Amino acid sequence: MGCPNWDEDYFVNCVTGVQETGNNFSRSGMIMVSHVGCGTWKQRLSDRLAIELSQSWTRCSVDGCQVLKEARFCTPESQKWESFPLSSSFNAKTDSEKIGNGDILLVPACCGSLCKYMMVASGRASVFLLRATTRKVMKKISGYAPAWDHAVGIICVHEAGGKVHIKV
């Protein structure tokens, strides 16, 4: 799967709180590949031009977070934190330096669901929350499950050591 707007430095800065200094060259996109039993690997799109392909792939791993309040969350742009049941227990903050008791870190992300799966598979986010909408549930009930757009993300997360739980 790929995300042409992936900015590696941006995601690192969101997690660490370190501010980027000027250079926006890293906004070159990312491609991620996975194969059952072989792991998940990523590569910057700009590296495809500059480096021999076999030398520029980096193995991906999920972050391994085991404590809910220490997890980094991402959600679809179309769904607000307040729409999730966890919002009754935790406030969402986007600044890693201002996380207090009862707060969680909500990591901003570009693009759609595939980018969120990339964030989890690469360890940039711990959890991707996606609330099923009535329309999606109706498609599933009527026999049409639009799984093709999530299948690649699920495989990448699984091969990077993560788990995907689907509850409808």
Instruction: Render 43-71 in DSSP notation, one character per residue.
Output: EETTHHHHS-GGGS-EE--------GGG-
Sheet holding 72-74, edge to edge: 91-93, 103-106, 72-74, 127-128
pTM of structure: 0.77
Each residue's pLDDT expressed in tens, for the chain with a length of 168 residues = 888 878 765 555 444 444 343 344 445 788 999 999 999 999 988 755 655 555 679 999 999 999 988 999 999 888 889 999 999 999 999 988 888 889 999 998 777 778 889 999 999 999 999 877 655 544 554 454 456 668 889 999 999 999 988 776
Residue 164 contacts by C-beta under 8 Å, 6 or more apart in sequence? 154, 157, 158
What is the DSSP pairing of strand 127-128 with strand 2-3?
A: unpaired
- Eight-state DSSP code of residue 79: S
